[in-house]
Amino acid sequence: MKISSFGVTLFTVRNDLLNHYESTLEKLSDMGFRYVEQLNLAPILKRDPLFGRDIRTVAKLFERYCLQPTSISLFDNAPLDIQLEYASILGVKQVALGRAKVFVDFSRSRNPFKLPSSQELIQYTEDLKYLSDVISNKGFEFLYHTHDLDLLRIDGLGENTIEYFSRIFDKTQINFQFDLAWLSIAGCDPVSMLYKYRDRVSSIHLKNYYKPLDNEAIQFSAPHEGFMDYASIIPHVIRMIPEQRIFVEIDNSKSPIEELKGFINWSKHLHLLSKHKS
């Protein structure tokens, strides 16, 4: 049975893919998923996104299990030509910048993520313009994946990163992949943000989280479990975003397949899997 309206990121099942690659794809297919977002070269993850396989073998396995890769993550501190070669062979339509290097400091071992200065972000804009030109010229839509730091106002700019990029780039250059959990963690209402940027949001990650106590790390969860009320959020997402661009994602789950099954059952119970116009 096809799960209309939802895809899944392969980041969610990365540990399962490491040990049982083909059977994990089969499980996703058997659950009804038809769209996937492919991993890419991510130095911060220190892992081969193809798990020892070549990209053409991966493409054939996707076809065998009726999984259509519609998006692929991209990292700007990894070789661009290889990443776009993966995207071309898989036939994806969108390339999403997973984490901009200007927000990462690898010398900080415990938490490598940091808010850039206004000057750093302005300088990084030239890198984004180059990425946008190369990616667009190859026929892909270029997306910027959002995190909580993208909602913090940067001294010297008077605006946050999403506002800044929306102002200096038009939608033929860069659009957004909103991760709704990170929007909520930053203190924003995800639905309000969807409507505010409805002309620029082209893809969605659905995940949830539990509010941490003081000094605790954020614990992410499947969309149906946690702080956020996805029963009221998902109808807005479905109304605004094409089905092949909505991806369920669960960070750091010990049993992602079971959590995905729980999400599917919850969605069916609330009749959230009805087909919508692509």
- At residue 42, the pLDDT reads 62
**Pick from 218, 211, 225: nearest CA to 255:** 225
Model confidence pLDDT, tens digit, residues 168-225: 999 999 999 999 999 999 999 999 999 999 999 999 999 999 988 777 888 999 999 9
pLDDT the model gives residue 78: 81
Burial string for 188-198 (b: 16+ CB within 10 Å, else e) reads bebbebbeebe
Cα dihedral across residues 262, 256, 176, 137: positive or negative: negative
Give domain 7-269's CATH architecture: Alpha-Beta Barrel (3.20)
Whether the Cβ atoms of residue 143 and residue 110 lie closer than 8 Å to each other: no
Alpha helices in 91-208 (DSSP H): 118-137, 161-168, 180-185, 190-196
Model confidence at 45: pLDDT above 90: no
CB 59 within 8 A of CB 233: no
pLDDT in tens, 223-278: 999 999 999 999 999 999 988 999 999 988 889 999 999 999 999 888 776 544 44
pLDDT score at 101: 87
Q: What's the rounded mean pLDDT across residues 164-169?
A: 96
Q: Distance between CA atoms of 219 and 239, rounded to whole angstroms? A: 28
Question: How confident is the model over 56-72, as pLDDT tens digits?
Answer: 999 999 999 999 999 99
pLDDT at 1: 43
Q: Where are the domains of the chain?
A: 7-269
Question: With 70 as the cut, is the pLDDT of residue 52 above it?
Answer: yes
Token pair 């083909």: residue: 22
pLDDT band at 77 (very low <50, low <70, confident <90, very high): confident
Prediction pTM value: 0.92
At 2, is the pLDDT very low, low, confident or very high (cuts 50, 70, 90)? low
Alpha helices in 145-188 (DSSP H): 161-168, 180-185
Confidence label for 11 from pLDDT (cuts 50, 70 and 90): very high
219-221 and 94-97 beta bridge pairing: unpaired
Pick from 270, 271, 253, 276: nearest CA to 8: 253
Contact 7, 70 (CB under 8 A): yes
Q: How much is the pLDDT for 189?
A: 98
Say if residue 108's pLDDT is above 80. no
- C-alpha angle 210/161/278, rounded to 5°? 70
Q: Which helix (H) or strand (E) holds 173?
A: none
What digits encode the pLDDT tens for the residues 82-93?
Answer: 899 999 999 999
pLDDT band for position 17 (50/70/90)? very high
Q: What angle do CA 272, 34, 195 make, to 5 degrees?
A: 50
Q: What one-letter code names the amino acid at 66?
A: C
Q: Please give the pLDDT value at position 166.
A: 97
Q: Distances from the Cα of 231 to the Cαs of 194, 249, 260, in angstroms?
A: 16, 16, 16
CA 39 and chain centroid, separation: 10
Cα–Cα distance, 154 to 110 (Å, whole number) = 23
Least confident piece of the model among 72-76, 118-122, 226-230:
72-76
CA distance 260 to 18: 18
